[in-house]
Each structure stands twice: as structure tokens, then as C-alpha cells.
Amino acid sequence: MQLHDNHTPVRTKPWDFGLVSTAEIGELEKEYVLRVLDKKRVFRYSGSDNELSEAYQLEKLYSDRLGVQYCLGVNAGTSALVVALIGAGIGPGDEVIVPAYTYIATAAAVLIARAVPVIVDVDDTLTMDPQALEAAITPYTKAVIPVHMRGVPCQMDEIMAVATKHKLIVIEDVAQANGGSYKGKALGSIGNAGCFSFQQYKLVTAGEGGMLVTNDPSINARAMIYHDSAFVYWDMNKMAETVPFAGENYRLSELNAALALAQSQRIDSLVSRLQKVKSVIVDGIKDIAQIQLQRIPDPQGDLSYSLVFYLDTLEQSEQFSKLLVKEGIPNGTINNNGFADRHIFKNWKYVMEKQGASENDTPWNCQSYKGNVQYSQDMCPQTIDWLNRAIAINLHQNMTDEDCNDVIEAIRKVAATL
């Protein structure tokens, strides 16, 4: 590898790869969207033949991919979490454990289901710490939502063992890990339910959209009722034995389904390309003594669109990050986004301050809740410590060997200054 002069940036050309998902939009997406318009069926339930529905075809694709019996397309990843919680019977008086590092929507879904989120630490995987999970369980804990953060699979063996021991429902948040796996099992198929997102920043996009997957017929039946306020009264309803209740309207449109259907057919090849990129970079930096690579519970199941490593201190990570930018490699730390990162628990303002839509009736103060969950800015010190020292570099499937070598060389060059 050729080394540059210390006064010359390693990389001088732009880093302009764009989003992983939208970079893949091409003729297939156009074909599928135009097919919807040609059929003039933009609402999935407007025809008697379900198999002509794009949403139905998308659900079938995920059922086959994941090896699960039931799939339900919805209008957002958050909606998928909500219908999963409602489907599992979670509601007022219940506590649901979530990690301290995840998008705010994970905690918001718990609140929408009228349950109380309990926030626990992540470890050096930047996913839920199984020991922190078990320590947070109370008589009111009914479920846990492990989040496969930044494409990295959670420690599902340990989490499932804790959940089984304490009879907890496990709802996997796979919003950031569509296409990932853990010890040969597709993420989303391990717990009682899995929830996916097709929002634009995800690996597979439809602009907006989501998917609930499960093998539990009761969760599926209740979720279908909740995702459509009139579902129980439609002729095609197969859940006649399920007691009806009021639902929302979280239905997935045919246009969004068509986009997700086209994109989802590329998942395996996309993940394979990303894994090759990350593997090259990791091999080039794993011997650097000054950094610690993020621990990946199952490297073969990592989506590999994110490279994370740690420095010894916050001050070192901030300095390292600035020097990397000078070398032409964009990166992220806990503090350099220019705004409060809503993936970090301390920035979930309405959760931390227990603010509900109504001051008089919130999940925390409703009569059904007998617990006493408290939140504070310093409640998850382990999470803040890892994030303080973390540097993240977003990877892209279109990165060349030259691009990978630029990343390797820049990291090695900066590390040599420590």
C-alpha cells in the first residue's frame, strides 16, 4: 500500500456514494410501479383476487425468505412495532424493555401501545446487553425489543434464554438490519415477532412502509385487526374467532409495496457486496493497537454497511474523527451530527420527561400501571461510554478497492499519530 505524505490528505476525491437503498433504484422499480398504475389498483383490498396485490406478493416474498408463516405489510416500521405489541397483547400496566441505543420510534411504539418503556444499556456490540436486560426485569415486564442496530445482529441466544426464563415476549426490531442473520437464522424470525422498515434510509426502501412477521397465529390475527379499523367486518377476514376491537389504519399502499417488492429481490446480492467491502477494510485495520473494533455477535450475519471502532477516551475519538475528516473520510461520533441524535436515549425528550398526548392520562400515570420506572440522563453509563469512544464510518456497496484502501490508509495514518 502506497503511503501519502503526511501533509497531503489520503483522499482528495469526493465521498459521494449516496444512500445504500436509493442507489439501487432502477428499471425493475419503474416496471413494478407502472404495473400498479396500469392495473389501476393502488389500494391492496380493492380487488377480489389477493394474488394480484403487490402487498400480498411482498408478504409472500418475506414469508418465503424468513421461513415464517405470517407476514403483514404496513405503512411504516413504527406501525409494525405497534401492531406487534398490540398483537402480543401488550398494553396499559405493562413494561417493555428497549435498548438505550435505537431510534426513538422503538420507545414511541411502546408508548403508543399504552405500555411503559424500560431503557437498558448496550455493550460493545452497540446492541442490548443481555445482563442489563435481565437486571431490569420486574413483575410488570411483559416484553423485550432487541434492536439489530446499524445492521449488527443482537446476541439472540442470550436474549432468548433470558426471555424464556422470565416468560417474556420477544419482538425483534429489524428496521436497520433487513437481510441480516444470526447463526443461520434470518433476523426477525427468531423471536415471537419481527418488525421491518422500508423507510428511505434503510437497506430496502419504499420511501415509507413496514412489515410484521410472526409464526404466532394470535399475534397475527390481532395485528391484522389493529392495522385496519374495519378489518373484522370485511368478508375476507379470517379472524372471526378473535374478539374485535378498535384499530388504526396502518395499511400499506400498492405503490409502496411495489417499490419494496422490487428492492427486496436484491437483498442477498446487496448484503454480499457490502460484506466484501467491510471485510477488506476490517482485514486492513484489525491489527491496529490504538483502536478496538466493534464486537459483532455473528459476523456472517452482519449487513456490513457500518464500520465502528472505539478509542480509549472521548477526547481521543473526537480528535481521531477530525483528523479522519481532514484525510477525506467522513465519519460520525456521538457529538458531531450537528443536532441531538434521536438514536440515543438521553435525547428522547418526551420519554425522559414522561410527556404523553394527554397530561392527565399517560402510560406512566394510568391506573393500570403499578410500577415506578424512572429516567435520567446518566441512567445508562455503559451506553454513553461506548458511544463516547465510538467512530462510525458508513460503507456502500459501490465502494471500490481504491475506496476501501483510502479508508484503511486514513485510519492507519491517523492512528499512528496517537
What residues are paired with 197 via a beta bridge? 210
Using left for φ > 0, alpha for ψ between -120 and 50, and beta otherwise, residue 183 falls in left
Using CA atoms in the order 132, 380, 335, 147, what is the torsion angle rounded to 10 degrees? 30
Element (H, E) at 78: helix 77-87
Backbone phi, psi, residue 129, to 5°:
-80, 115
Widest CA span in the chain: 73
Q: Where are the alpha helices (DSSP H) in 239-342?
A: 254-264, 267-285, 314-326
Closest CA to 260 of 204, 309, 336: 204
How far is the C-alpha of 267 from the C-alpha of 269, rounded, in Å? 6
Catalytic residue among 13, 30, 60, 202: 202
Element (H, E) at 181: strand 181-182
Does the annotation mark 202 as catalytic? yes
Q: What is the CA radius of gyration of the chain?
A: 22
**Strand-by-strand arrangement of the 390-394 sheet:** 292-293, 306-310, 390-394
How far is the C-alpha of 274 from the C-alpha of 375, rounded, in Å? 37
Query: Looking at the annotation, which residues are catalytic?
Result: 202
